[in-house]
Amino acid sequence: MTFTPRAAWADTPQPVRAALARALGATIAGHTDLHGGMSPGPAAGLRLADGRQVFVKAVSADVREHNHKMIRQESEILDILPASVPAPRRLATIEHGPWIALATTWAAGTTPPAWTDAAIAAVAGACRTASAHRAPGALPPVAKRIFHFDGWDRLLDTGAADDWETANAGPAAEVSAGWEQWTAGDALVHRDIRLDNTAVGERATLLDWAYAAAGAPWIDLAQLAADVVATGHALGPAAATDRAYRLLRTLPPEAPRFVVGLAGMWRIRAVMTPETVLPYISAWRKARTVALRPLVIRLIAALQGCR
């Protein structure tokens, strides 16, 4: 499902496009708008006059300050990632008035509409390659890149919306407690693994590095498992839950606890401050929590069985 009505690259102010071309050292000969991701700004593939194809995303702080900040943050992060991390390379970042634009190398492959077993295998491989690296020293601990992970606790205070939540919010809060401690580590963590943050070919490239951090080495694989269910598998919801469960079984017990925490995070964020620029984001978060329910129940039962 595509939620984002992203702006078109052609609507980016001309001085922004000119500044980017100057920074790239070549005229922009053509472009193709891209529609993945959750930001309101344009994202596009650019064909340069010297034959290169590059990726660009841009946003004006007047549209959404947060995304402007994230593009600046991602630019800094891309520069400190070791070359062996499966990530695009930064080519240029320009700022012009309220605008910021980031150009990177083009990542081979495609971003499929739903997970397939081949895509899961390729992205899991990329996550393992990334997390085998020690996080660069400038990256913060992952706890600083995790927001509202106390979603189930908050829900207990604000009140469950239905019988499922009445039955499960308590145990879910219990298994996700203490996450600040058990997510800590010194591995490189992407922290926002979602199908639309990957380019999948024979191998996968992880995209959109704004939230990278230092943490436990299983975090990206756990988030991959959650996203297989939340975004969906080409073979349907039962296959998605099955694939996620199988992946989580290869990981330490903190990984399923993390997935339960993510479900609570999406649940509570769906009802927090209404988003005016991205009004569809609440529905997107709500849909993710609901999709995760069968997996969450299974994980809680398995975790409680371990005690």
Distance CA 268, CA 266 (A): 6
Kindly state whether residue 131 participates in binding ligand ADP, applying the rule CB under 6 A: no
- Return the bridge partners of 105, or none: 54
Kindly state whether residue 78 participates in binding ligand ADP, applying the rule CB under 6 A: no
Cβ contacts of residue 197 below 8 Å, gap of 6+? 37, 190, 206, 207, 208
Number of H helices, E strands in the chain: 10, 9
Closer to ligand ADP by Cβ: residue 57 or 257: 57
Name which position in 197, 205, 231, 241 contacts Mg ion (CB under 5 A).
197
146 binds, among Mg ion, ligand ADP, none (CB under 5 to 8 A by kind): none
- Return the bridge partners of 188, or none: 214
104 binds, among ligand ADP, Mg ion, none (CB under 5 to 8 A by kind): ligand ADP
Name which position in 36, 42, 151, 256 contacts ligand ADP (CB under 6 A).
36
Residues 201-260 that bind ligand ADP (CB under 6 A): 207-208
Kindly state whether residue 38 participates in binding ligand ADP, applying the rule CB under 6 A: yes
Q: Which of 295, 240, 242, 232 is nearest to 264 (CA)?
A: 295
Given a contact cutoff of 8 angstroms between Cβ atoms, the answer to whether 251 and 133 are in contact is: no
Two structure tokens written together for 290: 């609901």
Kindly state whether residue 55 participates in binding ligand ADP, applying the rule CB under 6 A: yes
Interaction pattern, residues 81-100, with ligand ADP; x per rule: CB under 6 A: -------x------------
Angle between helix 117-131 and helix 237-249 axes, rounded to 10 deg = 30
- Return the bridge partners of 31, or none: 46
Residues 111-130 that bind ligand ADP (CB under 6 A): 111
Binding site for ligand ADP (CB under 6 A): 34, 36-39, 43, 55, 57, 88, 104, 106-107, 111, 196-197, 199, 207-208
